Amino acid sequence: MNLADSRILVTGGAGFIGSALVWELNRRGAEQIIVSDLLGSTTKWLHLRSLKFEDYLEADELLDSLRSGDLGQFDLVLHMGACSSTTERDAAYLIRNNYEFTKDLAYWAMHTAARFVYASSAATYGDGSRGMRDDDDLDSLHALRPLNMYGYSKHLFDLYAARSGWLSEITGLKYFNVFGPNEDHKGEMRSVALKSFEQIRDTGAAQLFRSYSSDYADGEQVRDFLYVKDAVDMTLHLATSPSVGLFNVGSGTASTWNSLARAVFTALGKEPRIEYVDMPPEIRDRYQYFTQADITKLRDAGYDAAITDLDAAVSDYVQNYLVPGKVLGDED
């Protein structure tokens, strides 16, 4: 697929990964893009100012416009739109927004011969005790136990797609801990990299959760951190290849929260000062202490680019975006 000649729909296109995808698509010569999102009273519109696209449509109008043919044909659908809050308790809302909408959009895409790539999540793996391999057979998927309703809403669609045979036609991406420019609107779902920057700026110290597991010291809880620029590169590699099914999108490296916080201090030229605070009781029993993507399947699909290491990624984020207050596209 030649992206520059393709007509592309990006849902969640003003959000974090979605707007980063539009930015990278522009860099690759693609401008025949329809962006869909729910802007509401957020500042997500700032992510769109420097980007080039054909039209914008609010998400609650999208399916009707697609079904009526008003928006025409598409070559590629990048479905990033979702409620990504891991603390959202309205299960009915998550089912409608993350599950039913995705079913409808995927069905439409397949029946109009549009390539469909959607955001799943590493939250589908739960505590990781059942593995974090991106297998897409039903038995492997049924074995997973997400820890929160957000993860379960994503898992439900993975299951539905597998059961319906759709994973032989579409591609689902299990994003791990993605961080970087354009996440400023995400409230409590902002990355620890961004939260640490703000805390250091305001108080001189970064705050991390205490550990409630005897297996991990405070701040030594582990995550697979992935820079958003790498995440969009991986996404577009898979989108333009014949690869179908589920894929982990991560760095393949496990790093501690302490390492992430120290990288922010280093990027700011400051000595580390980390404070450990109580984890909210409501998430203590649903907390992931370890995530690390197995990216063998991604590599086997031909993705051979080097992945930005944590220190370099944090340095770029802090020095080129957070300190000057820029979003993707402002640097061009």
* Cβ(254)–Cβ(305) below 8 Å: no
- 301: its two tokens: 């699909």
Active-site annotation holds for 103? no
Instruction: Report the C-alpha gap between 60 and 238 in whole angstroms.
Output: 28
- Measured from the Cβ of residue 271, the count of other Cβ atoms closer than 10 Å reads 9
Catalytic pick from 52, 103, 186, 195?
Answer: 186
Active-site annotation holds for 186? yes
Would you list the DSSP string of 157-204?
Answer: HHHHHHHTTGGGT-EEEEE-EEE-TT-TT-GGGS-HHHHHHHHHHHHS
Catalytic pick from 99, 118, 125, 150?
Answer: 150
* Cβ(182)–Cβ(190) below 8 Å: no
Q: What are phi and psi of 54, to 5 degrees?
A: -80, -40
Q: What are phi and psi of 232, to 5 degrees?
A: -75, -30
Please give the positions annotated as active site: 150, 186
